[in-house]
Amino acid sequence: MALKLNNYKTIAQVVPSSLTVVYTAPTGYTGVVLLGQIANISSTAYEVTLLHRRGGTDTEIVKNFPIAGNDTINLISGKLFLETGDSLVLSGNDATNLKFISSILETIN
């Protein structure tokens, strides 16, 4: 079966309280992260961490970044290219009030 040229993905979920893979670029594709935002729907400030993981090596995009209550942050300015097998890993210090959304274009290698 031939691979489809482009796939569009939206990831929308509550931020996990421990480091968790939220996306991995599939075999044969490069994942282009077009958007990565977190909304804090509480009046209390919380912190988030977002990592790029490649072959067991983690690179922090933001680490323990504070988000004020009732605010939203853009975690990725510009585009982030994830090669096959690369992952986005996310965590926050609240497992209820932080909401993550990301738009990803998977394009064939």
pTM of the model: 0.93
Please list the pLDDT of the chain residue by residue as tens digits (109 residues). Answer: 677 899 999 999 999 999 999 999 999 999 999 999 999 999 999 999 999 999 999 999 999 999 999 999 999 989 999 999 999 999 999 999 999 999 999 999 8
Residue 11's alpha-carbon distances to 44, 45, 57, in angstroms, are 24, 23, 23
Burial tier of 74 (Cβ tally within 10 Å: 0-12, 13-18, 19+): exposed
